[in-house]
């Protein structure tokens, strides 16, 4: 009754408007009243302005539409297991999202040194989305982690994701002579035979795999998701005070082919590497380093010889600052010690920054808080990948 009275009052006001001499004309057109949940209101101005009839949806419908439009897909709950090497990174990933719950594994050994492994509360992960954060940086720990990786999907989990930030094999292999063994292909085949979970094949998340052809080593029983650490670098470069003077240098054509599309908004310099025995000779193939803060970009670093030679050539060709980025800082035998800080703008002496990700946990521990090194964490990228 209150609604009817309100509508009658509106029409009485409308009638008064028509009798008002200040309202010189009135024209309206109502085509239908098919929507019975709509109501009509009157808006008018005096003088020569037209009178407008405005249809308003009912509050209940408007609210429902608003709620439907603003509905956000709930985050997928994930139980994240990890090995001892990746514990720090796992905690960073869990801190990125309340939907990620850390779960531990008892990494024990028998008296003969072989793994004695146990997954606590195995019944508690039934029907859950499960992930494992692996580190294959050392061959000694691959077998025990593979044992867990093969066991988790068989515990009636809803889905299984293997996060292997650094795919280690094949980084130094040169398949040139008969008898060379492609260990990268071997590891890809092993991972391709991880048992399927109740939700289907295992998903594999890895970053900047070294040889592009390794993408095709995996079988149809695994779903590889190839991510990159370059977005982390781009975000860091935007925060530099001289971000408008950045140029990107690639140490060879392979690095250019891999990354130039992701960094196409920056001026680029391409170097050329020639090996004569154990000696590396690096030249600038194209591009100009004069007056620029040049950032050398590659997927990984081992001994660092190529990067150091690039630094020397760029400094000799007028670069005011030189920094470096690699997704995977391997640095066998602590070769990171070869890299010096530039001591405030002396590019011939060292690097302003050397950015690496935390894909290789042992390296992170060694270079933490040591200039010129700075760690860009993959935690946010991994947390996002677990929601796919």
Residues 272 and 194 in one domain: no
Quick one: 35 exposed, middle or buried, by C-beta within 10 A (0-12, 13-18, 19+)? exposed
Whether residue 295 is contained in a domain is answered as yes
**Mean pLDDT, to the nearest integer, of 111-117?**
95
| Residue 212 banded pLDDT, cuts 50, 70, 90 | low
Residues 208 and 279 in one domain: no
Q: Which residue has the higher pLDDT, 211 or 206?
A: 206
What does the pLDDT read at residue 38? 44
Whether residue 3 is contained in a domain is answered as no
Residues 190 and 261 in one domain: no
What does the pLDDT read at residue 18? 45
Pairing of strands 159-163, 129-133: parallel
Residues 183 and 245 in one domain: no
Pairing of strands 268-276, 279-286: antiparallel
3-state secondary structure 48-60: CCCCEEEEEECHH
**Mean pLDDT, to the nearest integer, of 81-103?**
97
Q: Give the list of residues 6+ apart from residue 186 with CB closer than 8 angstroms, or none.
A: 169
Residues 111 and 205 in one domain: yes
Cis peptide before 207 (omega within 30 of 0): no
Give the range among 105-109, 138-142, 259-263, 360-364 with minimum mean pLDDT: 138-142
What does the pLDDT read at residue 177? 75
CATH number of the domain where residue 248 is located: 3.40.50.2020
Residues 204 and 268 in one domain: no
CA gap 187, 206 in Å, rounded: 13
What does the pLDDT read at residue 31? 44
Residues 207 and 257 in one domain: no
How many structural domains is the chain composed of? 2
Q: Which residue has the higher pLDDT, 164 or 32?
A: 164
Give the range among 80-84, 214-218, 375-379 with minimum mean pLDDT: 214-218
Own/partner pairs, 171-177, CB within 8 angstroms, 24+ separation: 171/210, 171/300, 171/302, 171/330, 172/302
Whether residue 264 is contained in a domain is answered as yes
What does the pLDDT read at residue 246? 98
CA gap 210, 160 in Å, rounded: 24
Secondary structure of residue 131 in the 3-state scheme: strand
Residues 114 and 166 in one domain: yes
Residues 234 and 219 in one domain: no
Residues 88 and 219 in one domain: yes
**Mean pLDDT, to the nearest integer, of 346-375?**
96
What does the pLDDT read at residue 140? 87
DSSP state string for 303-340: S-HHHHHHHHHHHHTT-SEEEEEEEEE--GGGGGGGPP
| Residue 52 banded pLDDT, cuts 50, 70, 90 | very low
Most trustworthy range by pLDDT among 33-37, 83-87, 170-174? 83-87
Whether residue 150 is contained in a domain is answered as yes
Single out the residue of 225, 248, 12 nearest to residue 131, CA to CA.
225
Judged against a pLDDT cut of 60, whether residue 238 lies above it is answered with yes
Average pLDDT of every residue of the chain: 84
Whether residue 64 is contained in a domain is answered as no
Whether residue 25 is contained in a domain is answered as no
Whether residue 5 is contained in a domain is answered as no
Residues 151 and 253 in one domain: no
- Residue 185's H or E segment, with its range, is helix 183-192
- Residue 8's H or E segment, with its range, is helix 2-19
Whether residue 33 is contained in a domain is answered as no
CA gap 237, 267 in Å, rounded: 13
- Which structural domain range is residue 331 located in? 230-357
Single out the residue of 28, 76, 20 nearest to residue 47, CA to CA.
20
CA gap 266, 244 in Å, rounded: 9
Residues 247 and 349 in one domain: yes
Q: Give the rounded distance of the alpha carbon of 26 from its chain centre.
A: 61
Judged against a pLDDT cut of 60, whether residue 55 lies above it is answered with no
What does the pLDDT read at residue 281? 84
């Amino acid at each position: 009754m209150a609604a009817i009275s309100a509508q009658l009052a509106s029409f009485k006001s409308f009638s008064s408007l028509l009798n008002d001499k200040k309202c010189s004309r009135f024209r309206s057109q109502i085509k239908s009243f098919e929507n019975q949940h709509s109501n009509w209101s009157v808006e008018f101005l005096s003088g020569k302005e037209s009178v407008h009839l405005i249809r308003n949806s009912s509050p209940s419908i408007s609210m429902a539409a608003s709620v439907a439009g603003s509905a956000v897909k709930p985050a997928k709950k994930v139980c994240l297991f990890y090995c001892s090497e990746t514990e720090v990174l796992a905690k960073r990933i869990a801190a990125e999202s309340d939907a990620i719950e850390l779960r531990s594994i008892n990494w024990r050994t028998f008296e003969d040194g072989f793994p004695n492994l146990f997954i606590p509360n195995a019944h508690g992960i039934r029907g859950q989305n499960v992930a494992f954060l692996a580190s294959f940086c050392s061959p000694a720990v691959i077998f025990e982690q593979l044992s867990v990786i093969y066991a988790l999907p068989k515990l009636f989990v809803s889905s299984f994701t293997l996060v292997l930030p650094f795919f280690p094999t094949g980084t130094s292999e040169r398949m040139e002579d008969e008898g060379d063994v492609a260990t990268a292909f071997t590891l890809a085949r092993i991972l391709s035979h991880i048992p399927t979970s109740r939700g289907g094949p295992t998903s594999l998340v890895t970053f900047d795999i070294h040889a592009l052809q390794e993408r095709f080593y995996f079988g149809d029983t695994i779903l590889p998701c190839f991510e990159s650490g370059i977005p982390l670098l781009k975000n860091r470069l935007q925060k530099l005070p001289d971000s408008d003077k950045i140029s990107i240098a690639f140490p060879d054509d392979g690095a250019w082919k891999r990354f130039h599309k992701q960094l196409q908004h920056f001026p680029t310099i391409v170097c050329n590497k020639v090996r004569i025995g154990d000696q590396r000779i690096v030249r600038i193939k194209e591009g100009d380093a004069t007056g620029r803060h040049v950032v050398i970009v590659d997927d990984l670093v081992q001994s660092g010889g190529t990067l150091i030679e690039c630094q020397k050539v760029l400094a000799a060709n007028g670069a005011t600052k030189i920094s470096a980025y690699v997704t995977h800082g391997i640095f066998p035998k602590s070769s990171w010690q070869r890299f010096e800080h530039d001591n405030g703008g002396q590019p011939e002496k060292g690097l302003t920054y050397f950015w690496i990700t935390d894909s290789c946990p042992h390296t992170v521990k060694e270079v933490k808080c040591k200039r010129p090194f700075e760690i860009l964490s993959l935690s946010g990228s991994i947390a996002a990948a677990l929601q796919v």
